[in-house]
Amino acid sequence: MQLVLASTSPFRKTILEKLGLPFECVAPDTDEKPEPGETPEHLVERLAIAKAQAVSDKYENALIIGSDQVAVIDGKIIGKPGNFENAMKQLKEASGKRVTFLTGLSLINTKTGKIHSSVVPFNVVFRYLRDSQIENYLRKEKPYNCAGSFKSEGLGITLFERLEGDDPNTLMGLPLIRLVAMLEIEGMPAI
């Protein structure tokens, strides 16, 4: 049985490599716009499933992994900033606050049609940050393609007061603890 990651994210690829299982990455073609009135939890779960489904028809006997993530501050979804100005706004808004990262995870067995899905939360409590600290961070790390405007696996760790969650991989976009449990149910143990 093949293992396929429906993602082009280098972060998710690196996380999945930790399991030592052979897999391939395939770009899913999905519309990631929220539906009207959609909650952040529903959005990430729906998109994780949609990403896995987008590539599942190419495989007869595979386990397809889909994942999607959003950051939520004060109930509002914060996406990828795309540029310095937006990242500056996001980090100023996050300063001194708890930001919840919701990661939707899905696993589809293309042989049986079985779909596993879950939403895994992870909280980051930000330090109070001066504008100069944010500017210095952004100029060094350039995290413009990361939800929440930081890379926790890099210099972004300096922005935090504390991390709250069961699996630090969740913060980087792929909850491995939950994924390992799903893979075992489908007969593909990591160890």
Catalytic residue among 31, 68, 74, 167: 68
Q: Phi and psi (nearest 5°) for 111?
A: -75, -40
Give catalytic status of residue 68 as yes or no.
yes
The C-alpha atoms of residue 66 and residue 106 are separated, in whole angstroms, by: 5
Q: Checking DSSP bridges between strand 62-73 and strand 2-5, what pairing results, if any?
A: parallel
CA Rg value for the chain: 17
The C-alpha atoms of residue 72 and residue 44 are separated, in whole angstroms, by: 12
The C-alpha atoms of residue 15 and residue 58 are separated, in whole angstroms, by: 24
Catalytic residues: 68
